[in-house]
Structure 1
Amino acid sequence: MNFEKDALVSYILQQNEEIFDENVNCEVLSVKPLKTTNKVFQALVQVDVNSYHNIMNAGKLLIGLNYCSVYDAIELRRCFKCCGLHHYSDKCSSEVHVCPKCSDNHPAKDCNSSELKCTLCCGLKDTNIDTSHAAWDLSKCTAYKNAHEKFKSLILRTK
Structure 2
Amino acid sequence: MKLIKGRILKFYCKSCLEDEPKKEIIEEIKKLNTVVKKQTSRIETLTEELLMLTKKFDKLEEKSTKQSNVIESAVIEIKSNVNTKPLYSQTVTGNKVNGKNTSNSKDPVLIVKPKEVQSSDKTKKEIKEKIDPSRLGAGVAGLREAHRGQVVIRCGNEEAREKIQNKICEEMSGDYDIRKPNLKYPRIKIIGVNEEDDDTDDNLLNAIKDQNLTEHGSEEGFHLKIIKRIKKANREITLILEADSKTHNILLNKGKIFIGWSRGKAYDYVHVVRCFKCFGFNHMAKDCKNNNICYKCSLEHTGECKARYNKCINCSNAIEKYKIKIKDNHNALDPKCPCYIRILNSIKRKIDYLDDQ
Query: TM-score category by the smaller chain?
Result: 0.7 to 0.9
Q: Which residue of 1 aligns with 2:243?
A: 47
2:311 pairs with 1:117: yes
Shift of 1:14: 2.1
Structure number with higher relative contact order (C-alpha < 8 Å, ≥ 6 residues apart): 2
- Paired with 1:73 and 1:12, the residues of 2 have a C-alpha distance of 17
Q: Which residue of 1 aligns with 2:214?
A: 17
- Paired with 2:286 and 2:296, the residues of 1 have a C-alpha distance of 20
Encode CA deviations 1:93-126: one digit per residue, 9 max, x unaligned. Answer: 33x333221112x134264422110112222554
The answer as to whether partners of 1:12 and 1:63 remain within 8 angstroms in 2 is yes
- Would the alpha carbon gap of residues 135 and 32 (structure 1) be closer, same or farther in structure 2, given more than 3 Å must change? closer
Shift of 1:66: 4.7
Which ranges in structure 2 are unaligned for 5 or more consecutive residues?
Answer: 1-195
The answer as to whether partners of 1:101 and 1:108 remain within 8 angstroms in 2 is no
Letter in 1 for 2:328: T
- Would the alpha carbon gap of residues 18 and 153 (structure 1) be closer, same or farther in structure 2, given more than 3 Å must change? farther
- Paired with 1:133 and 1:47, the residues of 2 have a C-alpha distance of 35
- Paired with 2:197 and 2:230, the residues of 1 have a C-alpha distance of 9
2:330 pairs with 1:133: yes
1:92 pairs, out of 281, 288, 302, with 288
The answer as to whether partners of 1:100 and 1:108 remain within 8 angstroms in 2 is no
Q: Which residue of 1 aligns with 2:86?
A: none
**Among the aligned pairs, what percent are the same residue?**
26
- Would the alpha carbon gap of residues 32 and 103 (structure 1) be closer, same or farther in structure 2, given more than 3 Å must change? closer
2:275 pairs with 1:79: yes
The answer as to whether partners of 2:249 and 2:354 remain within 8 angstroms in 1 is no
Q: Which residue of 1 aligns with 2:298?
A: 103
The count of residues paired between Structure 1 and Structure 2 equals: 153
| Greater CA drift, 45-54 or 2-11 | 45-54
Q: Which residue of 1 aligns with 2:18?
A: none
Runs of 4+ in 1 over 6 A off after TM superposition: none
The answer as to whether partners of 1:62 and 1:68 remain within 8 angstroms in 2 is yes
- Paired with 1:11 and 1:27, the residues of 2 have a C-alpha distance of 13
1:139-158 paired onto structure 2 within 5 Å: 140-156=336-352
Q: TM-score, normalised by structure 2?
A: 0.38
- Paired with 2:261 and 2:275, the residues of 1 have a C-alpha distance of 41
Which ranges in structure 1 are unaligned for 5 or more consecutive residues?
Answer: none
Encode CA deviations 1:47-80: one digit per residue, 9 max, x unaligned. Answer: 2334223322332323235543201221201112
Local SS of the residue matching 2:227: strand
1:55-74 paired onto structure 2 within 5 Å: 55-74=251-270
Q: Kindly indicate which of the two structures has a greater share of residues assigned to helix.
A: 2
- Would the alpha carbon gap of residues 103 and 31 (structure 1) be closer, same or farther in structure 2, given more than 3 Å must change? closer
The answer as to whether partners of 2:297 and 2:331 remain within 8 angstroms in 1 is yes
Q: TM-score, normalised by structure 1?
A: 0.77
Local SS of the residue matching 2:264: strand
- Would the alpha carbon gap of residues 111 and 31 (structure 1) be closer, same or farther in structure 2, given more than 3 Å must change? closer
Aligned CA RMSD, in angstroms, stands at 2.6
